[in-house]
Each structure stands twice: as structure tokens, then as C-alpha cells.
């Protein structure tokens, strides 16, 4: 019997890496993407040592480019005839105010945070819908439902991603596919690198990964539609 399969975007660092590791620990073969080829090669070396029983397929992608996302989708279909889990995790955070941010900031963040999830999901639904089972996770944010200082276009893009996730949930409901929106607050990742804060002030990437796994590891009759996670002491 073959292993279950998962696709994770932005999987070499931070939340994506932690999520990839917890799925591998639970016997999944993975197909992942990231922008930097060297990071993917390093991940492959780590996987060979940590998870020798699990297959890891990697693909270098700039998810802000539709053509590359579609190429990744075709690659996934070539290595996985069926897909159990899709995790749209890749994202970009450019802080700023709507009135002050550089021209093109909205387009950049929509392309990375929203369009990538839309195009990859559309590319992979043809190998998920026929199974009448599967799970799609969209990595949203607390910025998906609340405005905060310096959120700017990032928050706009994350509001839109939550909207996409809600619509997808309704469309997939009768087809047997689960859709979950994960909305974490501050967790240690590249976005927070170099910030002068106590380590315990932010959530760990592994906390988010455990939450994602918990949402997946339920009976077919249950689905977590939206999950909010925050640091113990609240938002920053």
C-alpha cells in the first residue's frame, strides 16, 4: 500500500518546514516547492537522513508567477496520481500603510499570497475531486479578519485569501473535500528574523504544525473550517 501524499508550498523554512516535518513523521510522501534551489537541496539532504522511508519531491518555483505555479501543478500530477493534502502555505509579508507603501506592493502581495493558492488549487483539484476525499489548507492570518497598524496590502491579500477559502469550502463540501483556513498570529519564521523579542513571546512554528495536523487527523465526518492561533500573551 502506497503512502499518503501531501503538497506544501514554501516548505523549506518556518511554518512550511514544520508542517512538512509533521506530515513526514506521520508517513506522508511529500511534494514541495520554494523559490531558492539551494534551500530545496538542503531539505532533500535532511530528508534522506531524517525520513528515509518517505519520498520527497522538490521543485523550484516563484509562486508569484502564474506560469511557474502551473508548471509546479503539472509536476505534482506527474509524480502523484492521487493527492490527499494540499497546503497553500507560501506567502510574503511587506509591512506598510496603504497611503504610503510603494507602488506595486498590492499587486506583489496578491500574486504571492492569493493568486498562487488559487492557481495551484485549480491545477490540483482534478486529482483530488475524483477521490471524493482530501483536505486543502490555506495559510491565512489574523490579518485575514482584523486590521492592524502597518498591515497595508498584506492584510488586503490575507482578507482575500480567507474569502477564497470560504468559497472553496462551499464548493468542495458536496464533493467530499475538506477546506480549512489556518489563521496564526505571530510565530517565529523568516518574517520575524532579527526581531528583539523574548523567544517565548511568539509561537513556535511547530505549534502551528501541530494544529494543522490536528485539523487533518479527524474522522471524515468532521472539519475545522477556521482555526485562530495566537501567542499566549496576545498579538504584537
The whole-number pLDDT of residue 187 equals: 87
191 vs 163, residue with greater confidence: 163
Comparing 43-47, 197-201, 227-231, which segment has the lowest mean pLDDT?
A: 197-201
Torsion, CA 125, CA 126, CA 128, CA 133, rounded to 10: 100
206 pLDDT higher than 90: yes
198 pLDDT higher than 90: no
The whole-number pLDDT of residue 127 equals: 97
| Residue 115: active-site member | no
Q: What is the per-residue DSSP string for 69-131? A: HHHHHHHHHHH-SS-SEEEE---------TTTSPTTHHHHHHIIIIIHHHHHHHHHGGGTGGG
User: What confidence tens digit (pLDDT) does each residue in 10-60 have?
Assistant: 999 999 999 999 999 999 999 999 999 999 999 999 999 999 999 999 999
Confidence of residue 193 (pLDDT cuts 50, 70, 90): low
Task: Name the active-site residue from 115, 118, 148, 154.
Answer: 154
Mean pLDDT of 160-175: 98
Beta carbons within 10 angstroms of residue 27's beta carbon: 11
CA torsion through residues 98, 102, 108, 109, sign: negative
Sorted by sequence, the CB contacts under 8 Å of residue 124 that are 6+ apart come out as 7, 73, 76, 77, 83, 86
User: What confidence tens digit (pLDDT) does each residue in 84-111 have?
Assistant: 999 999 999 999 999 999 999 999 999 9
Confidence of residue 191 (pLDDT cuts 50, 70, 90): low
Which listed CATH number (3.30.1330.10, 1.20.1600.10, 3.40.50.720, 3.90.1330.10) goes with 5-229?
A: 3.40.50.720
Q: Enumerate the domain spans of the chain.
A: 5-229
Helix (H) or strand (E) holding 31: strand 29-34
Amino acid at each position: 500500500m502506497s503512502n499518503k501524499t501531501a503538497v506544501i508550498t514554501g516548505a523549506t523554512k518556518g511554518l512550511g518546514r514544520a508542517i512538512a516535518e509533521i506530515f513526514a513523521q506521520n508517513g506522508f510522501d511529500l511534494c514541495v516547492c520554494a523559490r531558492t534551489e539551494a534551500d530545496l537541496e538542503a531539505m532533500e539532504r535532511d530528508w534522506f537522513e531524517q525520513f528515509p522511508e518517505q519520498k520527497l519531491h522538490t521543485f523550484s518555483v516563484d509562486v508569484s508567477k502564474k506560469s511557474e505555479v502551473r508548471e509546479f501543478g503539472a509536476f505534482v500530477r506527474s509524480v502523484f496520481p492521487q493527492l490527499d493534502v494540499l497546503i497553500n502555505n507560501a506567502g510574503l509579508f511587506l509591512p506598510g500603510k496603504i497611503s504610503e507603501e510603494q507602488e506595486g506592493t498590492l499587486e506583489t502581495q496578491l500574486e504571492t499570497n492569493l493568486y498562487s493558492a488559487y492557481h495551484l488549487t485549480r491545477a490540483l483539484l482534478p486529482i483530488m475531486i475524483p477521490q471524493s476525499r482530501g483536505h486543502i489548507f490555506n495559510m491565512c492570518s489574523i490579518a485575514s479578519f482584523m486590521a492592524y497598524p502597518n498591515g497595508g496590502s498584506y492584510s488586503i491579500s490575507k482578507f482575500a485569501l480567507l474569502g477564497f477559502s470560504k468559497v472553496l469550502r462551499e464548493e468542495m463540501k458536496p464533493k467530499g473535500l475538506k477546506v480549512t483556513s489556518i489563521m496564526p498570529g505571530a510565530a517565529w519564521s523568516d518574517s520575524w528574523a532579527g526581531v528583539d523579542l523574548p523567544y517565548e513571546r511568539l509561537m513556535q512554528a511547530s505549534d502551528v504544525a501541530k494544529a494543522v495536523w490536528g485539523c487533518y487527523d479527524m474522522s471524515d465526518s468532521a472539519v475545522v473550517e477556521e482555526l485562530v492561533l495566537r501567542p499566549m500573551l496576545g498579538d504584537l
